[in-house]
Amino acid sequence: MNQKTLKIIFLSYLLVVLAGAIILMLPFAHHGKLAFIDALFTATSATCVTGLVVKITPESYSIFGQAILVLLMQIGGVGYMSIVSLFYLFMRKSLNIHEKNVAKESLNYATNHDIPIFLRKVFLFTFIIELAGTLILALRFSAHMSIPQALWQGFFHSVAAFNNAGFSLFRDNLMGYQTDATILLTIGTLVILGGLGYLVLVELHAKLMHQRFMLSAHTKITLVGTVLLVLSGMLLLGAIEWNNSGFFGHLSLEHRFLNSFFLSINFRTSGFNSLDLSQLSDTSLFCSTIFMMIGGGAGSTAGGIKITTVAVLIIATLHTIKISNQPPHAFKRTISSEVIHRSSAIIFVASFIVIAATVLLVQTQHSAFLPTLFEVVSAFCTVGVSVGNGDVLSLSQTFDLVGKSLIIALMLIGRMGIFAVGFLIVGKEKIKHVQYPEGRIIL
């Protein structure tokens, strides 16, 4: 990991956010009054592919403004530096070592040896998946709106879903489609594909093309973890809220399962909602923060501390408890001590940031603890769900300048990654040629 490379990536995110906010402030980009902090909040939410909103998107932003949000979501999902690198490749210019390292860090890829090939595959898969999502959604939307409008709605929601952003052009998000299996399953599938990570998608494609291709331990852990988290979230949410008349009570049996499945997907990685989350019980709110903290796959459009991080720590914990004479392993592959230490650091720092931010917001904004915790985790893990402000906007809409600024900072840190931001602040320790004797520490 190179500190200079990370600085370039972080500054590129800041520049994109600021440029997006300035453009949204233009008279033809929005309707009515728009404070700069709200434009900055919206631009950050889109670029960090979060989905928290302090302005009603279809009512506050013109078609031009909505197009800017699409662009910001796409840049945030794939990575600004990755797009720049691909532009160089299209211009038939080779990438130097520094440019390859920037693209590698932007995509969270393991090596820079075959980064040009990987970049082309990333953009090809993104184009194909979003195009398929656009066509399916547009076809369904065309049943009750004009073809041009249906195409725009389909395109906007397809980009938002695959990039795990959660923005919607419907006032109540997707609550009007809570019984529409086509819409919910299509968007849910897009969210899952975006949340797996580009490396996983590339390896799955290679496996389909060549049966002898071996999937990496990373891909296997991500796939198994995604299935387990989606199913467990669906069952847990369904069981807790089954008799909640304000939540599931008005739905039929099949629609309860459908919405449980859809919300389980979005609680981890995206901000779409088909039901009124303000009606969730405290138990569901707390359990949901755990799923949001875990998030999606590494190198994906999703946020959170990542599935592999949690999986590594669980495996290492079980290994320690069993006092095994073998090093921790998964799918017949050894997990290095460096990966275990990094996973522990990520979870510890993430927990500290969430707790500190929640306490600050509760004290400065005088908001209730659990809804605030839910909002903080949603912002930090770039999820985008919220209990709301009493209407259709996020709880953040009720915050003042200090509160909104803190949420903006959380979204930026969450999108960059805890380890990357920590490395930027702390830096790399100089190599020391001294080794201290082992001390006795009782645990």
Which are the contacts of 35, defined by CB distance < 8 A and separation ≥ 6? Answer: none
Q: Is residue 249 part of a domain?
A: yes
What range defines the domain where residue 36 resides?
3-426
What is the crossing angle of helices 115-141 and 80-90, to 10°? 110
| 232 within some domain | yes
Task: Evaluate whether residue 437 is within a structural domain.
Answer: no
Mapping DSSP to helix (H, G, I), strand (E, B) and coil, where does residue 304 land?
coil
User: Residue 65 has which token pair?
Assistant: 């403004």
Q: Is the dihedral of CA 170, 174, 178, 184 positive or negative?
A: positive
Mapping DSSP to helix (H, G, I), strand (E, B) and coil, where does residue 277 land? helix
> What is the model's pLDDT at position 209?
84
Cβ neighbours of residue 31 closer than 8 Å, sequence gap 6 or more: 59, 60, 61, 62
Within-domain flag for 172: yes
442 lies in some domain: no
- Predicted confidence at residue 95, as pLDDT, reads 58
Look up residue 61 and give its DSSP letter: B
Does residue 398 belong to any structural domain of this protein?
A: yes
Number of H helices, E strands in the chain: 18, 2
Residue 19, helix vs strand vs coil:
helix
Question: Whole-angstrom Cα distance, residue 153 to residue 170?
Answer: 9
Q: What is the DSSP letter of 33?
A: -
pLDDT of residue 106: 58
Number of domains within the chain: 1
Q: Is residue 438 in a domain?
A: no
Contact call for residues 30 and 61 (beta carbons, < 8 A): yes
Could you state, in chain order, the average pLDDT of each consecutive group of 10 residues for the chain (443 residues)?
A: 70 90 96 95 94 94 96 83 57 58 59 71 90 97 94 96 93 92 96 90 87 84 93 92 85 92 90 90 93 87 86 88 78 85 89 95 95 95 91 93 96 83 68 77 77
Within a domain: residue 238?
Answer: yes
Dihedral-angle region of residue 332 (phi above 0 means left; psi in -120 to 50 means alpha; beta otherwise): left
Phi, psi of 89 (to 5 degrees): -65, -40
Contact 371, 388 (CB under 8 A): no
Classify residue 269 by its DSSP letter.
Answer: H
Burial of residue 427 (CB within 10 Å: 0-12, 13-18, 19+) is exposed
Distance CA 191, CA 201 (A): 13
Name the phi and psi angles at 246, rounded to 5.
-85, -5
Q: What residues contact 196, with CB distance under 8 A and at least 6 apart?
A: 222, 223, 226, 296, 297, 300
Would you call 242 helix, strand, or coil by DSSP?
Answer: coil
